[in-house]
Structure 1
Amino acid sequence: MADGSTPALLRVDGLTVEFPGVRALDGVHFDVAAGEVHALVGENGAGKSTLLKVLGGLHQPSAGTIGLAERPYRPRRPADATHAGIAVIYQEFNLYPDLTVAENVFSGREPFHRFHRGIRYAEINRRATELFATLGVRIDPTAPVSSLTVSEQQLVEIAKALSVDGRIIVMDEPTAALSADEVTRLLDVVRRLRAEGRSVVYVSHRLDEVFAVADRVTVLRDGRHVRTTALADTSPDELVRLMVGRDVSAMFHRDDVAGGDVVLELDQVSAGRQLRDVSIVVRAGEIVGIGGVAGAGQPELSQVIFGALPLKSGRMLLSGADYRPKGPHDAMRAGIGFLHEDRKAAGILPDLSVRHNLTISVLDSVRGLFGRLLSPAGELGVFDTFRKRLAIRTTGPDQLIGQLSGGNQQKVLFGRALAPGGRLLILNEPTRGVDIGAKVEIHHLINEITADGAGVVMISSDLPELLGISDRVYVLAAGRIVGHLTGDDRTEENVMRCATTGQHVFSTAVAG
């Protein structure tokens, strides 16, 4: 480790970054030794992403210095970071959807034929395949990125960074979209990089990953350095206290809420490419979890309920009445809210304000004169309601949502999902990419929603979260329900047994 006697490979001293009205980093310092995995943790808005963008050449510091191998380092653009041997995997994907996987991995570094100057596609396809093999996955290098799942796109980003063969690999929430098996393989890759003498700056809200792979950890809060310590000298509870400045007594807490009448019923529903003969029941006041490995049919299930995917066969009932939405507009008019798993690609509208992002799901209710123009007063009313209820940190209703931290963007999208009425809420990965404090706040809000009588369908790849706040859990495998877990049967072992082996486990304590 870089302890004063050993020169640091990377050293940050007094780094300050200011934007109009905001000091994102305030005198931050930390160092990374060669062959070290150094974790960087903190709540959303703590300054982690800003620091990584400075290292990657996307932001310029207002003050402070960075040293790389005992030489000054001040990248002006991303290419400078690449040339210096620093590869950054950002939390938000930076892929070209119409290019192939291999073209994305080697974008800007393509090998060309000597004579006709065409790209040597056979070579980049082979090299991409080898990179994915090190990650333990198989992804077609000739497939367009637009055809991949979110988790596969994350793996493309990781392969792109590994292809640089840099001295320092910076990973910003690299496992946010990965399944449990993919996370395990990625952590093995991180350990291999360390064994090869390369350094990894690892940013994650998942403290179990931090303790599994990191040597030291630096905690940031409100743009300032709080502490740097060896993982062996701290604990998850202490890191949480350092990150949020207070005790978080219960990460996953489910209030006792009595289930009421059936809000939603699916009877032998089939939709999309793989969802087949799915039957589930959701009652008022319940949180019904949907588990399974990535690609088991979770997106299709949520989309058919929300009207974004046509029903092929079977029947859906909403409060006992036939329900067959022609599109999401029908679902929202019926009081159904929807939270997409991919905040960047299908969630926020980055060039619009916070209030416009909030009200886009309820435009009919905020129209003014003659129903043709939007009512500013109506929009501000929606904004004020959800800003207070969700504790959204923003400078005002007209701030662009793209300027908010990831956690506050997620809260805005949560408000958009609630705005149609909250009769039924479909939540895809509701706390993906948010910090521990925001996660607790969102769980508390979900408890409030069910206490008010709403039903919730929650899809989460985070098993502790899925089991910690769901009343019942359905498990999907290959598009079919293979398990229904209640009470003491709700264990990680049972979920994974159903999801990975197809073994059926159906609790009998609760019908449905």
Structure 2
Amino acid sequence: MSTLSLHAAPCGHTAAGGRAALLEVRGATKRFGATLALDDVSIAAHAGEIHCVLGENGAGKSSLGKVIAGLYRADAGVLVFDGAPVQFANPGQARAMGIAIVYQELSLVPDLSIRANFWLGSEGARLPLARVGRRRETPRVREVLAQLGVELDPETRVKDLPVTTQQLLEIGKALMHRPRLVVFDEPTAMLGAIEKQRFFSVLRTLRDNGIASLLITHHIDDVTAVGDRVTVMRNGRVVESFPMTGAIDAEHVLERLTGRRGAAAVRSPRTAPAAGESAVLEISGLPGRDDGGATVGVHRGGIVGLYGVVGCGAERVVRAAAGVQRARDFSMRLNGRPFGPATPAEALRAGISYLPAGRQANAVFPTRSIRENLMLSQLRRVSRLGFINRRRETSVALDQLRASAVKFADLDAGIDTLSGGNQQKVLLARAMAGASALLVLEEPTAGVDIDAKQQIHERIRAASRAGLAVLVLSSDLPETLALCDVVYTFFAGTVMDCHVAPAAGDHDAILADILGQRSAARPEQPRSQAAPTVNEWSLQAT
């Protein structure tokens, strides 16, 4: 077995201020078969510093984080922690040294409580059948939840919580044992605007307490918000590393990341339904602002977004449309007929296909191949009398992967051999293949880089131009503004407003809506003076 070599130059890499690095990685190399994930990578992290590792999907940044946290062993190179060469056989050894990791994909056990998840793997030596010390464990769990700004009962089961809250709990799990260095692997991919600001506050507190943070990300706004130093990776190598000073803005970071000047996102012209055209999906009986009722309609060729903080009620709408949960306090009509699917399979038979949030937990079969993950819901299309036509299946799969710009070497390789962005493209292709009436997308670009996000957006726009109705729930407000023709804002289960053809100028008004601060941020307009509305795309007073 390959190990991390301990033959290294003397320690002592220092920051500009003269402080010795808490962590150094020197010349790390890691291969996965023919793929060179890390190619002679060197990086240093200092106590009381937020060091951002920035790169596109497949750049090697997640592999670097897993080497540091003990999940992978490098084939060559040196890891130095607190001035001494170290090598970890597993994450437990790294944790014992003071290194924790927050994984990009959730590693929580859904059926266990928050408390049990936080302490899982850290119970220590116990006699067989010994009772769990809940009274001893609970206070520390409450401390961490308070640090995250989350008010929850520690005995709440994880599976009963939204994915965005679970992502915050993943962060809390890493903070349980007061680490000296935390590796954050794409921690903001599933966080909404409010949860992201809460996480940034946690990062700043860690910095103030002298803890080193290695923030692995492809989000430039993460870097500009909290980064002290940035290391850019590309194709498994470190391209450059530089401190974040006042002279460096998002455009400058983007240029260093991609090697080209950033261009404004190109947005296709907004489409409105023809006069009198009925909605593909109509959702009525939703609570509206000013104690009124609200109706949300999604038309052919339209992209409708629902936006709000975690638990705002928008999640219930998209999941009811997809058959994941029942619509208990509102009603739906599909193509003019009452609609209430009991399962996603029933919704799929009606022409509604769903891409859920939480790729690893809810959408991917990690032990199965790319082919199997893609064709899972399309087997009837490529089979006869219960037998799959392998040649037909291969042809359909290859056509869909090429149309989605998925980078892969072997159709029958495990889907876990793909980067997160390419996995997401596979899942989107699967969802699009099953949608004949409505495509329901929840966090469609979570965990993907800039180029992959643009490609996914164009695929969604192309589907809408072809006449498909699209319903989107995204925690990414810039994405919501760029992608959607109409955005409905939610607060505490109430539809606050409808923004037709939203643009960057609507940013503050939308945030005011979702925080319940609309009256303070934007004076109310009389209904007769409000912006003109188009059919069910606007709120209908009932």
Give your verdict on TM over 0.5: yes
Could you say which residue in structure 2 is the equivalent of 1:291? 307
Q: Check whether the contact 2:53–2:215 (CA below 8 A) recurs between aligned residues.
A: yes
Could you say which residue in structure 2 is the equivalent of 1:355? 371
Q: Check whether the contact 2:484–2:502 (CA below 8 A) recurs between aligned residues.
A: no
* Aligned-residue offset at 1:365: 0.8
After superposition, the Cα gap between the structure-2 partners of 1:182 and 1:326, relative to the gap in structure 1 and judged at 3 Å, is closer
The aligned amino acid for 2:513 is C
Matches within 5 A, 1:315-326: 315-326=331-342
Partners in 2 of 1:291 and 1:381 — Cα distance? 38
Whether 2:149 is the aligned partner of 1:133: answer: no
Q: Check whether the contact 1:34–1:198 (CA below 8 A) recurs between aligned residues.
A: yes
Whether 2:409 is the aligned partner of 1:395: answer: yes
Whether 2:36 is the aligned partner of 1:23: answer: yes
* Aligned-residue offset at 1:253: 3.3
- Give the match's secondary structure for 2:166: helix
- Give the match's secondary structure for 2:451: helix
The aligned amino acid for 1:465 is E
* Aligned-residue offset at 1:121: 1.0
Q: 1:495 aligns with which of 496, 499, 510?
A: 510
Could you say which residue in structure 2 is the equivalent of 1:475? 489
Matches within 5 A, 1:424-463: 424-463=438-477
Could you say which residue in structure 2 is the equivalent of 1:338? 354
After superposition, the Cα gap between the structure-2 partners of 1:95 and 1:421, relative to the gap in structure 1 and judged at 3 Å, is closer
* Larger mean Cα displacement after TM superposition, 114-123 or 59-68: 114-123
Matches within 5 A, 1:59-98: 59-98=72-111
Could you say which residue in structure 1 is the equivalent of 2:185? 172
- Give the match's secondary structure for 2:487: strand
* Aligned-residue offset at 1:501: 1.3
Partners in 2 of 1:116 and 1:346 — Cα distance? 33
After superposition, the Cα gap between the structure-2 partners of 1:330 and 1:67, relative to the gap in structure 1 and judged at 3 Å, is same
Q: Check whether the contact 1:240–1:436 (CA below 8 A) recurs between aligned residues.
A: no
Could you say which residue in structure 1 is the equivalent of 2:317? 301
* Aligned-residue offset at 1:394: 1.1
The aligned amino acid for 2:318 is S
* Aligned-residue offset at 1:225: 0.8
Q: Check whether the contact 2:281–2:334 (CA below 8 A) recurs between aligned residues.
A: yes
Could you say which residue in structure 2 is the equivalent of 1:10? 23
Partners in 1 of 2:193 and 2:455 — Cα distance? 24
Could you say which residue in structure 2 is the equivalent of 1:162? 175
Consecutive unaligned residues of structure 1, counting only runs of 5 or more, are none
The aligned amino acid for 1:334 is A
Partners in 2 of 1:144 and 1:349 — Cα distance? 23
Partners in 1 of 2:514 and 2:268 — Cα distance? 27
After superposition, the Cα gap between the structure-2 partners of 1:45 and 1:227, relative to the gap in structure 1 and judged at 3 Å, is same
Could you say which residue in structure 1 is the equivalent of 2:437? 423
- Give the match's secondary structure for 2:376: helix
Partners in 1 of 2:235 and 2:145 — Cα distance? 37
Partners in 2 of 1:148 and 1:71 — Cα distance? 41
* Aligned-residue offset at 1:228: 0.5
- Give the match's secondary structure for 1:49: helix
After superposition, the Cα gap between the structure-2 partners of 1:221 and 1:7, relative to the gap in structure 1 and judged at 3 Å, is same
* Aligned-residue offset at 1:244: 3.3
After superposition, the Cα gap between the structure-2 partners of 1:115 and 1:65, relative to the gap in structure 1 and judged at 3 Å, is closer
* Larger mean Cα displacement after TM superposition, 176-185 or 448-457: 176-185
Whether 2:74 is the aligned partner of 1:58: answer: no
- The superposition leaves residues 390-438 of structure 1 with CA deviations (integer Å, 9 ceiling, x where unpaired) of 1101112101112211111100000011112453211111111111111
* Aligned-residue offset at 1:39: 0.3
After superposition, the Cα gap between the structure-2 partners of 1:288 and 1:253, relative to the gap in structure 1 and judged at 3 Å, is farther
- The superposition leaves residues 255-278 of structure 1 with CA deviations (integer Å, 9 ceiling, x where unpaired) of 01433444423242579xxxx965
* Aligned-residue offset at 1:194: 1.0
Could you say which residue in structure 2 is the equivalent of 1:511? 535
Partners in 2 of 1:414 and 1:488 — Cα distance? 24
Could you say which residue in structure 1 is the equivalent of 2:540? none
Q: Check whether the contact 2:190–2:443 (CA below 8 A) recurs between aligned residues.
A: no
In percent, how many aligned pairs have the same letter?
36
Partners in 1 of 2:409 and 2:155 — Cα distance? 44
After superposition, the Cα gap between the structure-2 partners of 1:313 and 1:146, relative to the gap in structure 1 and judged at 3 Å, is closer
Could you say which residue in structure 2 is the equivalent of 1:223? 236
The aligned amino acid for 1:492 is H
* Aligned-residue offset at 1:311: 3.8
Could you say which residue in structure 2 is the equivalent of 1:107? 120
- The superposition leaves residues 83-139 of structure 1 with CA deviations (integer Å, 9 ceiling, x where unpaired) of 111011111111222322112112232378999953321121111111111121112
After superposition, the Cα gap between the structure-2 partners of 1:129 and 1:6, relative to the gap in structure 1 and judged at 3 Å, is closer
Consecutive unaligned residues of structure 2, counting only runs of 5 or more, are 1-13, 525-529, 537-542
After superposition, the Cα gap between the structure-2 partners of 1:310 and 1:143, relative to the gap in structure 1 and judged at 3 Å, is closer
Partners in 1 of 2:514 and 2:494 — Cα distance? 10
The aligned amino acid for 1:29 is S
Whether 2:209 is the aligned partner of 1:185: answer: no
Q: Check whether the contact 2:353–2:431 (CA below 8 A) recurs between aligned residues.
A: yes
Q: Check whether the contact 1:112–1:119 (CA below 8 A) recurs between aligned residues.
A: no
The aligned amino acid for 1:39 is C
Could you say which residue in structure 2 is the equivalent of 1:46? 59
Q: Check whether the contact 2:60–2:235 (CA below 8 A) recurs between aligned residues.
A: yes
The aligned amino acid for 1:156 is L
Q: 1:264 aligns with which of 276, 280, 284?
A: 280
* Aligned-residue offset at 1:495: 1.7
- Give the match's secondary structure for 2:120: coil
Q: 1:327 aligns with which of 332, 337, 343?
A: 343
* Aligned-residue offset at 1:18: 0.3
The aligned amino acid for 1:366 is V
After superposition, the Cα gap between the structure-2 partners of 1:308 and 1:258, relative to the gap in structure 1 and judged at 3 Å, is same
Q: Check whether the contact 2:48–2:211 (CA below 8 A) recurs between aligned residues.
A: yes
Q: 1:119 aligns with which of 123, 132, 157?
A: 132
After superposition, the Cα gap between the structure-2 partners of 1:507 and 1:307, relative to the gap in structure 1 and judged at 3 Å, is farther
TM-score w.r.t. the length of structure 2 is 0.87
Could you say which residue in structure 1 is the equivalent of 2:539? none
The aligned amino acid for 1:295 is G
Partners in 2 of 1:239 and 1:422 — Cα distance? 41
* Aligned-residue offset at 1:313: 6.1
Matches within 5 A, 1:349-388: 349-368=365-384, 371-388=385-402
Partners in 1 of 2:349 and 2:502 — Cα distance? 37
* Aligned-residue offset at 1:356: 1.2
- The superposition leaves residues 58-83 of structure 1 with CA deviations (integer Å, 9 ceiling, x where unpaired) of 11111111111221122111111111
Partners in 2 of 1:422 and 1:237 — Cα distance? 40
After superposition, the Cα gap between the structure-2 partners of 1:277 and 1:75, relative to the gap in structure 1 and judged at 3 Å, is farther
